[in-house]
Structure 1
C-alpha cells in the first residue's frame, strides 16, 4: 500500500518561516518516506499510514515556536498501489499537456 499525504507545518509568526519549515522538511529524512516540497507544503509518500503519521509528527515537533500550525491531508487508496506522480500524470493525460504553467 502507498499512502500519499500533503503536509504543511509552520510556526504562527509574522517573521519568515523558512528556517522553521526547513527543520520540518529535514525531519522527514529520518523516515522511510519520499517527499517533494512545494511553495505551499510537502507531498509525502509512505508504505504505511503508521510511517506517514510518524514522519508528520516528527516534522511537527521539529518546528520551534509558541504556536505551530500543522495541516495533514491523507489519500489512503486501499484498492491498489498508486504513486503521487501517477495522480499528476492522470490529470496531464486529460489536459493533453504538462500540468504546469510558469508565470513570467
Structure 2
C-alpha cells in the first residue's frame, strides 16, 4: 500500500464519544482500505489516495452530531510502496526493541 493516514473523527459533545466514533469506524468497511483503531485515532492504508479520501469523508459524515471535528494527516510517499508496519519496524530497528513503554 502506498498511502498511509491518521484519521480522527469526533463529535463535539459532552457525553461519551464512543457510539459516534464507532459509526465512523464502521463506515470504513465500505471502502478498500485497511485500518487499525487506536486510542487517539485510526490508521488508514490504501493503494490510492482517492479511496482513502472517500473513506475519510464517509467516516466524517457517519457521525451524527451538530458539530464534528475531523483531523486527517496523510503520508503519500510516491517513490515506492510502503505500509504502516514498515514505519514501525524502522523505528524498532533503531531502538533495538519494540517502541512501547509501560505505565507505572
Asked if TM exceeds 0.5, the reply is yes
Q: Distance in 2 between matches of 1:66 and 1:19?
A: 15
Q: Give per-residue Cα distances to partners, 1:10-43, cap 9 Å, x unaligned.
A: 0001110000000000000100100000000000
Deviation at 1:102, TM superposition (A): 2.7
Other-structure match for 1:23:
23
Other-structure match for 2:40:
40
**Poorly superposed stretches of 4+, deviation over 3 Å:** none
Figure out how many residues of one structure are paired with residues of the other and give that number.
Answer: 104
Other-structure match for 1:13:
13
SS in 2 for 1:16: coil
Q: Distance in 2 between matches of 1:32 and 1:101?
A: 33
Q: Distance in 2 between matches of 1:25 and 1:38?
A: 11
How large is the RMSD of aligned CA atoms in angstroms?
0.9
Superposition map of 1:1-104 within 5 A: 2-104=2-104
- What 5-or-longer segments of structure 1 have no aligned partner? none
SS in 2 for 1:79: coil
TM-score (normalised: structure 2): 0.97
Q: Distance in 2 between matches of 1:21 and 1:101?
A: 26
